[in-house]
Amino acid sequence: MKKYFYFIAALTLFLPALSSCDDGNEVSQDTETVVDSDSGISSTDSIQGFYLLNEGQSGQNNASLDYYNYATGTYSLNKFGTVNANASIGDTGNDIEIYGNKLYVVVNGSNMVQVLDATTCKQIKKISIPNCRDITFYKGKAYVSSYAGTLNWNNSNNRLGYVARVDTAELSVSDTCNVGYQPEQMAIYGGKLYVANSGGFMPTYDNRVSVINLSTFKKEKDIKVNVNLNKMLISKENELFVSTNGDYYYNTSKLYVINPATDALTDSINVSVAGMSKSGDSIYVYGAEYSYLTSKTTISYHIVNTETHKVVSDQIITDGTSIASPYMIKVNSINKDIFISDSGSTYGSPGILYCFNSKGKLKWQVTTGVGPGHMVFTKFKL
């Protein structure tokens, strides 16, 4: 279950970097399926589609990129492969974002960021960054968290991670800044970059959020939160929400709140967080928390009000639809549709993407690639 266990997720770190993403296992050709005839999205809305990044199976070079068109209700499997001579996008996709007219795909196992034309899905360039994890943007620069190279499990001599700064015009790394151990997601507010450090390869998990001043690109401080930090976002009220995966024993997953005006830890919310998505004053959260004490994974869903920091609902799916292994959650800010993916129990077979309306009722579902883990909405129609 690589998304929830760093020692499984990072097996890709022990695989050699691929010299070309066009080699190895190829994913299947594009398959189009009409899944929705009434999306509620107009031609003038800021969202016209979305890309779904399927992580693929570690070491198999079978990550893939799907696309959904709201105007036609058509879901297209493996759009990247179709446009780029049936190539694989790489080994283990880890994040996806759009900046300007470019689509950036972080490919952890292949040690690179793929840069694509967001309007065509055509490959533009590959940027080498070892064991890259997450990407965000600010004033013409991309910031990519990195484990910084091959690591050894449970070794106190493992190197610090870093954030790479990428010039989005030159599409090359211009600088790096060391942070904590095994950095994951990031968020930007007030000219500062906040980095969640997990320490997933260390004898003791990291418990710090690193703060980088983007004008100097120097680390200013670390904020102690809790062990094994992972997800992060800025709320409507301009507060920083950061999750911890815990230690899988007694220290459980939680959601914490930091005031970026003071960089003080101000609150904690007792919900398990494997993934989260913001919509207005709500954060939609799913948990998939494994415990070594019980050898079981507990699935949960919550809606958190960002103003009050209170859980307003312990239910997102309201029609009885069962998802065996939730792997991603994303909310459309226009029509409030809720997307939840299911990776399947083996994490090596095609997954399923479910679309629910704002009331939690199933609208449609579709088969995806392997490990549907990351989504970004786009204004572009392919």
Q: Is the pLDDT of residue 22 over 90?
A: no
What is the pLDDT at residue 5? 39
Residue 23 exposed, middle or buried by CB count within 10 Å (0-12, 13-18, 19+): exposed
What is the pLDDT at residue 348? 87
Residue 81 exposed, middle or buried by CB count within 10 Å (0-12, 13-18, 19+): buried
Percent of the chain with pLDDT over 90: 89
Q: CA 70, 74, 77: angle at the middle one, nearest 5?
A: 120
Spell out the domains of the chain, with CATH numbers in brackets: 6-378 (2.130.10.10)
Q: Are 228 and 183 in contact (CB under 8 A)?
A: no
Which residue carries 């958190």 as its tokens? Answer: 304
Please, what is the average pLDDT of the chain? 92
Q: Is the pLDDT of residue 20 over 80?
A: no
pLDDT digits (tens, 9 = 90+) for 286-342: 999 999 999 999 999 999 999 999 999 999 999 999 999 999 999 999 999 999 999
Sheet holding 192-197, edge to edge: 183-189, 192-197, 208-213, 218-224
**What is the distance between the alpha carbons of residues 371 and 341, in angstroms, rounded to a whole number?**
9
Q: Is the pLDDT of residue 24 over 70?
A: no
What is the pLDDT at residue 346? 80
What is the pLDDT at residue 23? 40
3-class DSSP string for 200-248: CCCCCCCCEEEEEECCCCEEEEEEECCCCEEEEEECCCCCEEEEECCCC
**What is the distance between the alpha carbons of residues 145 and 165, in angstroms, rounded to a whole number?**
9
- Closest by Cα among 322, 329, 315 to 360: 315
Residue 351 exposed, middle or buried by CB count within 10 Å (0-12, 13-18, 19+): buried
Query: H/E element holding 278?
Result: strand 275-279
Q: Is the pLDDT of residue 171 over 90?
A: yes
What is the band of 345 on the pLDDT scale with cuts at 50, 70, 90? confident
What is the band of 379 on the pLDDT scale with cuts at 50, 70, 90? very high
Radius of gyration of the chain (CA): 19
The amino acid present at 209, given as its one-letter code, is V
Highest mean pLDDT (candidates 7-11, 40-44, 311-315): 311-315
Neighbours of 62 (CB within 10 A): 26
**What is the distance between the alpha carbons of residues 23 and 61, in angstroms, rounded to a whole number?**
8
Q: Is the pLDDT of residue 6 over 60?
A: no
pLDDT digits (tens, 9 = 90+) for 140-159: 999 999 999 989 999 999 99
Q: Is the pLDDT of residue 12 over 80?
A: no
Cα first-last separation, the chain = 33
Percent of the chain with pLDDT over 70: 92
Q: Is the pLDDT of residue 11 over 50?
A: no
pLDDT digits (tens, 9 = 90+) for 48-75: 999 999 999 999 999 999 999 999 999 9
Q: Are 47 and 341 in contact (CB under 8 A)?
A: no
**What is the distance between the alpha carbons of residues 218 and 163, in angstroms, rounded to a whole number?**
10
Q: Is the pLDDT of residue 2 over 70?
A: no
Of 20-24, 236-240, 284-288, 291-295, where does mean pLDDT reach its minimum? 20-24
**What is the distance between the alpha carbons of residues 174 and 328, in angstroms, rounded to a whole number?**
32
Q: Is the pLDDT of residue 8 over 80?
A: no
What is the pLDDT at residue 29? 53
pTM for the whole structure: 0.93
Compute the average pLDDT of residues 207-214: 98
**What is the distance between the alpha carbons of residues 219 and 193, in angstroms, rounded to a whole number?**
9
pLDDT digits (tens, 9 = 90+) for 73-83: 999 999 999 99
- Closest by Cα among 5, 147, 120, 129 to 51: 120
